[in-house]
Amino acid sequence: MRIDLVTIFPAYFDALELSLLGKARDRGLLDVRVHDLRDAAHDRHRTVDDTPAGGGAGMVMKPEPWGEMLDGILGAPDAGPDPLIIFPSPAGEVFTQRMARELAHESHLIFGCGRYEGPDQRIFDEYAERGRIRLVSIGDYVLNGGEVASIAMIEAIGRLLPGVVGNPESLVEESHEEDGLLEYPSYTKPAEWRGRAVPPVLLSGNHAAIAAWRREQSLERTRRVRPDLLPPEPGDGASDSPSMA
Ligand code: 6GU
DSSP 119: B
Strand-pair category, 108-112 with 84-94: parallel
Q: Which of 111, 222, 119, 113 is nearest to 157 (CA)?
A: 111
Percent of the chain with pLDDT over 90: 85
Determine the pLDDT at residue 235.
81
| Residue with CA closest to ligand 1 atom 5 | 143
Locate the ligand 1 atom nearest the alpha carbon of residue 88 and give its number: 1
Region 95-112 average pLDDT: 98
Tens digit of each residue's pLDDT (9 = 90 or more) over 69-97? 999 999 999 999 999 999 999 999 999 99
Quote the CA–CA distance of 109 and 103 in Å, as a whole number. Answer: 8
Tens digit of each residue's pLDDT (9 = 90 or more) over 10-34? 999 999 999 899 999 999 999 999 9
Quote the CA–CA distance of 48 and 35 in Å, as a whole number. Answer: 14
| Residue with CA closest to ligand 1 atom 2 | 89
pTM of the model: 0.92
DSSP 79: -
Query: Which of the residue ranges 26-35, 56-65, 128-137, 172-181 would you say has the lowest mean pLDDT?
Result: 172-181
Is 127 in contact with 133 (CB distance < 8 Å)? yes
Determine the pLDDT at residue 173.
66
